[in-house]
Chain A
Amino acid sequence: MDAQQIKYGSVDPILIIHKLFLDFEHNAGNIEALRGVSLTLRRGEILALIGESGCGKSVLLKAIPGLNSKRARLKGGRVLFYPRSQSNGIELSALTSKQLRLVRGSLIGTVFQDSAASLNPAVATGRQLEAQIMRQAGLSQAQARSRLVELLSSLDLKDPQRISALPPQLLSGGERQRCCLALALAGSIELLLADEITTALDPTVQLTLLRLLLKLKERFSLSVLLITHNLGVAAAVADRIGIMYAGRIVEIGTAAEICENPQHPYTRTLFAALPERAKRGEELPTITGSAPVLINPPSGDLFARRDPCPLRIDFIKAPPFFALSPTHMVATWRLHPAVCGQNYPVLEELS
């Protein structure tokens, strides 16, 4: 554990995911949802993970606090968590479910995409939030109620009384998602996992929620792993952006680097396909095909099958990470010295 920390020494990580392999059992074979994902989340940063449906980003997010279904099998790798109270870190992937229960809600908070389905429809919102506050902070009901009002007003909810009294389905989408955030923030969490929290909202509400997220990060000293498929959302709030494809991270870097200088063909086509960049009168560029089914996946770079001009080696061997800068890493053969002419340092895995 210490050696790992020395490696990432200058970085002060709160979460280290190291070569995670995760399979789902299925009738037709095992679905390899995560095929060697490595990631470091630094304390106090917002890391956005982008990818299309089926690339494994939700699976990765749920794998951290162990929320995947019973069919998920961890085939290899570790998840290390470094809360402030434990300087040696906790290996989340090795904990039993009883031990994980102590971490969920109190140190790691999770917010999901569908806020309408994420709250119990038969109970008033206020009651659910109060119950969680009482559980996490050990307060009495009266104390929990006043803390709830504080929490809701820090989330910019104007009328806490009304919102507490209503069941979740009678609230608006934005209010509901904030209540889900409140539920996650009820304990004194350090890591917030947000799975597409803005996807189900309309654009104006999305922006407000993102600004709120930044405010909350400062106020509660959070580190956030944000999953989205919207490049705009990522560009707006993230410090670093990671691109996932077919169970692997293919490119990672600071927001500026990714937005201004995407190097992986997948990232490039994602940016090219943005409607904002389309020219009137021309055809909208798209990525043909669909996400691969990860049962017995072939070797090599899986994006090559959808790439309009792939390299021959993409079908044979998976590329390593080439580091364009200390923060920008890309896994593509196009950055090999023989292809691009430049000599970039090579990493076998992400650090």
Chain B
Amino acid sequence: MAALKLDKNELSLLRPCSEEELRQLNAEIHTHSVLKHLSVRQQAGLSQKLALFLLGLIILLCVAAPLICTHDPTKFYLSHLNESPGQEFWLGTDSLGRDLFSLLCYGGRSSLLIGTIGALCSCALGLIIGIGSALFPRYVGVFLQRLIEICQSVPSLLWMLTIAAFIPRRDELTLALIIGCCSWFSLARLARAETLQLQGASFMEAAASFNSSVFLKIRLHLWPRLVSVLNFAPAAAFNQALLAEAVLSFLGLGLPLEQLSWGCVLSLSGRALQHNAWWVIVFPGIILLVTMLTMTLLCASWRIEHKRRCSNL
């Protein structure tokens, strides 16, 4: 049993606190705890900054195409067929003699436009139908659910091919709408599942007991939950639309070949294989890939990390 050694100063403190001291100490404690509770804000990481830079660069190239491109994308330079990348043609030419770099910049305009409009259309449709199928009473809800199910049972690409076959003349807007109207299924299903999950939640019962209106419930409870779960959706829809346009044009069912888009350039890869012209295949693919990756990375930074608990493994 060790003896306790307190020095004279500490011994003098073995008394109750005075009022003044208590007040002072409590004030200190308050600031101390407030400072400690400051959460660490998520700073934009290096990868997000890089993604923003690259995407901005691509958009800039497409928008400022007339200023940057040295050659006319529609002109056929017959004396420079299938030239590999060099001084004059930065990314080479295709088998028809068109400058690949200009093709990509001008083509980017159409592709990005189609991507954006297609994504907006698909997200809007998906959300409305998905939430509607969960919220509307009995028969309408069931009907919408069946609609989602049968639409999803056929691959999106197949729907797009079918409808594209029916519409012979396609311009950018039409193509974007076709793509948008055929890609909303999975988003609708997810939105429906999330809305349904709320049904069993206790706070919904509480809200009902307060007689909250439907719109209030949607705004307070449904919308934040949807945003946190489905925040990958805009980027995914954009990527899907971009890809769909590329595939459709590659298969010959997208934009007519006279028009320029990344998909049309990619559809030249069949002929490029015969000539072993790797630049016609590689460069458009890379620019498509980079656009999609940067878009996804940017949207990933908005995702709220659910670090609720640690893995129990």
Interface residues of chain A, those whose CB is within 8 Å of chain B, are 27-29, 69-71, 292-293, 295-296, 298, 305, 309-313, 315-317, 320, 323, 333, 336, 338-339, 345-348
Contact = CB atoms under 8 A, between A and B. Distances in A.
B309 A69 contact: yes
Nearest to B309: A69
B10 A313 contact: yes
B14 A305 contact: no
The 4 closest A-B pairs by CB, nearest first: A69-B310, A313-B13, A345-B1, A312-B13
B13 A311 contact: yes
A28 B1 contact: no
Contact of B37 (A293, A305, A317): A293
Nearest to A309: B16
Nearest to A312: B13
Nearest to B26: A305
B16 A28 contact: no
B311 A69 contact: yes
B40 A312 contact: no
DSSP majority for the B interface? Answer: loop
B310 A70 contact: yes
A296 B33 CA distance: 10
B271 to A, nearest CB: 55
B310 to A, nearest CB: 3
A338 B1 contact: no
Contacts of A296: 36
Most buried by A among B3, B15, B309: B15
Interface in B9-38: 10-11, 13-17, 21-22, 25-26, 29, 32-33, 36-38
Contacts, number: 63
A69 B312 contact: yes
A310 B37 CA distance: 25
A333 to B, nearest CB: 6
A323 B37 contact: no
Contacts of B10: 313, 316-317
B14 A336 contact: yes
Contacts of A346: 1-4
B39 interface: yes
26 contacts: A27-B40, A28-B36, A28-B39, A28-B40, A69-B309, A69-B312, A293-B33, A298-B32, A305-B29, A309-B16, A310-B16, A311-B14, A312-B14, A312-B15, A312-B21, A313-B14, A317-B10, A320-B4, A323-B1, A336-B4, A338-B11, A338-B14, A339-B14, A346-B1, A346-B3, A347-B1
Contacts of A27: 39-40
Contacts of B4: 320, 336, 346
B17 A311 contact: yes
Given A338-B11, A348-B2, A309 B312 contact: no
B305 to A, nearest CB: 11
B191 to A, nearest CB: 26
A71 B310 contact: yes
Contact of B25 (A70, A71, A315, A336): A315
Contact of A333 (B3, B14, B33): B14
Nearest to B312: A69
A295 B37 CA distance: 9
A96 B39 CA distance: 34
A112 to B, nearest CB: 11
Interface string B230-274: 000000000000000000000000000000000000000000000
A289 to B, nearest CB: 9
Nearest to B29: A305
A75 B224 CA distance: 40
Nearest to B5: A346
A70 B311 contact: yes
Contacts of B25: 305, 315
Contact of B16 (A311, A315, A320): A311
Contacts of A316: 10, 13
B3 to A, nearest CB: 7
A268 B311 CA distance: 38
Contacts of A315: 25
A97 to B, nearest CB: 10
A317 B26 CA distance: 17
Given A309-B16, A347-B1, 15 more contacts: A27-B40, A28-B39, A29-B36, A292-B33, A293-B36, A295-B36, A296-B36, A311-B15, A311-B17, A313-B14, A316-B10, A317-B10, A323-B1, A339-B14, A346-B4
Contacts of B26: 305
Contacts of B38: 28
B36 A347 contact: no
B78 to A, nearest CB: 63
A336 B2 CA distance: 14
Nearest to A295: B36
Contacts of B3: 346
Given A311-B13, A311-B16, A347 B311 contact: no
Contacts of B14: 311-313, 333, 336, 338-339
Nearest to A68: B310
Contacts of A28: 36, 38-40
Nearest to A349: B2
B9 to A, nearest CB: 9
Contacts of A311: 13-17
Contact of B2 (A292, A313, A339, A347): A347
Given A28-B36, A316-B10, A317-B10, A309 B17 contact: yes
Contacts of B13: 311-313, 316
B26 to A, nearest CB: 8
Contacts of A71: 310
Contacts of B15: 311-312
A295 B34 CA distance: 12
